[in-house]
C-alpha cells in the first residue's frame, strides 16, 4: 500500500460531482489524500484513474448504508489518521407541500442519516481526537422556503445535529464546522426545472469558487476554527 506518512487524509462524501468533486479536487491540489464516497461507480472509476490511488481512493456505495460506512471507514483508517470529514452528500426533493409522498421524505433523509453514520464511524476511528468534521448543509437550514418543506425539515435536522456535536466536543481537539451555502450551479436541480429554471440555476454560485471559499476557512495554518460559514451569491 502506498505510504501516506506526513500527508493529510480527508473523506468527502458525494465526491463524484458538483461541490463534492470541487472540494476533492482542491484538497488533492493542496497535497491531501482524499477518500471519495459516492454511489456513481462509473464516475468513481473515472476519478480514481485520473488522480491515481496515491491521491484519490474511490469508495462506491450508499452513504446511508451502515455496513458500507463501517467497512469504508475501517479501510480508510488503515491508510492513516483521518484529519477531515466533509459530509457533503445529499439529495433534494422540491415540491409543493401537498405533492410530497413517503419516497420524497426518505430521499431527503438519506443526507441526514449519512451525516450521522459517517460522523460516528469517523469519530470512533480517530479515537475522538484531532479531527475536523464539516457538515455541508444549505441556507435552507436557516429559514423556511416555499416548495422545499421536506428539504428544509431535513436541513434543520442536520443543523441540530451539527450544533449538538459542537456542544459535545467543545474544548476538545475535535472541531465541528457547519457550512450553509445558497444555491449552487450544479445538477442538484436537474429534476426540478419547474421550480428552478435553467436560467435561474445558472445565476447561482460556481461550485469551484464556492469550494475555494470553504477550504480557505477549513484548511489553513491559523490556530483557529471558523465554526459556521454562511455563503450567499452576489447579485449583479
Q: What is the pLDDT of residues 177-227, one digit of tens each?
A: 999 988 666 666 555 545 556 565 555 778 889 999 999 999 988 888 889
- Cell, residue 113: 442519516
pLDDT of 188 reads 62
Whether 108 is in a domain gets the answer yes
Task: In whole angstroms, give the CA distance from residue 91 to residue 78.
Answer: 30
Whether 157 is in a domain gets the answer yes
Q: What is the DSSP string of 16-84?
A: SSHHHHHHHHHHHHTT-EEEEEES-HHHHHHHHHHH-TTTEEEEES-TT-HHHHHHHHHHHHHHS-EEE
- Cell, residue 219: 484548511
pLDDT of 207 reads 86
Whether 176 is in a domain gets the answer yes
Whether 111 is in a domain gets the answer yes
Of the listed ranges 27-31, 38-42, 203-207, 213-217, the one predicted with least confidence? 203-207
**Where residue 1 falls among pLDDT bands split at 50, 70, 90?**
very low
Q: Which residues constitute the domain of residue 84?
A: 9-231
pLDDT of 106 reads 95
- DSSP run (H or E) holding 122: helix 102-125
Whether 3 is in a domain gets the answer no
> Quick check: 29 and 52 in contact, CB under 8 A?
no
Whether 227 is in a domain gets the answer yes
In this structure, the number of other CB atoms found within 10 A of the CB of residue 75 comes to: 12
Q: Are strands 33-38 and 82-87 parallel, antiparallel or unpaired?
A: unpaired
State whether residue 166 is helix, strand or coil: helix
Count up the domains in the chain and report the number.
1
pTM here? 0.91
- Cell, residue 190: 436537474
Whether 2 is in a domain gets the answer no
> Quick check: 231 and 213 in contact, CB under 8 A?
yes
Write out pLDDT tens, residues 125-168: 999 999 999 999 999 899 998 888 999 999 999 999 999 999 99
Whether 236 is in a domain gets the answer no
CATH number of 86's domain: 3.40.50.720
Amino acid at each position: 500500500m502506498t505510504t501516506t506518512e506526513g500527508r493529510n487524509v480527508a473523506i468527502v462524501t458525494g465526491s463524484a460531482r458538483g461541490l463534492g468533486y470541487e472540494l476533492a479536487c482542491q484538497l488533492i491540489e493542496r497535497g491531501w489524500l482524499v477518500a471519495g464516497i459516492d454511489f456513481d461507480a462509473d464516475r468513481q472509476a473515472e476519478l480514481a484513474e485520473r488522480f491515481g490511488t496515491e491521491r484519490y481512493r474511490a469508495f462506491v456505495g450508499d452513504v446511508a448504508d451502515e455496513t458500507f460506512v463501517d467497512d469504508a471507514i475501517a479501510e480508510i483508517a488503515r491508510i492513516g489518521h483521518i484529519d477531515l470529514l466533509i459530509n457533503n452528500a445529499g439529495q433534494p426533493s422540491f415540491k409543493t407541500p401537498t405533492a410530497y409522498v413517503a419516497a420524497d421524505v426518505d430521499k431527503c433523509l438519506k443526507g441526514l442519516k449519512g451525516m450521522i453514520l459517517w460522523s460516528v464511524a469517523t469519530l470512533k476511528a480517530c479515537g475522538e481526537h484531532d479531527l475536523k468534521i464539516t457538515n455541508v448543509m444549505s441556507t435552507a437550514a436557516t429559514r423556511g422556503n416555499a416548495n422545499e418543506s421536506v428539504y428544509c425539515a431535513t436541513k434543520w435536522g442536520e443543523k441540530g445535529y451539527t450544533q449538538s456535536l459542537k456542544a459535545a466536543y467543545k474544548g476538545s481537539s475535535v472541531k465541528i464546522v457547519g457550512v450553509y451555502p445558497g444555491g449552487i450551479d450544479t445538477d442538484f436541480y436537474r429534476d426540478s426545472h419547474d421550480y428552478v429554471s435553467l436560467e435561474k440555476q445558472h445565476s447561482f454560485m460556481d461550485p469551484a469558487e464556492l469550494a475555494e471559499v470553504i477550504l480557505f476557512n477549513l484548511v489553513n495554518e491559523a490556530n483557529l476554527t471558523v465554526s459556521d460559514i454562511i455563503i450567499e451569491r452576489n447579485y449583479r
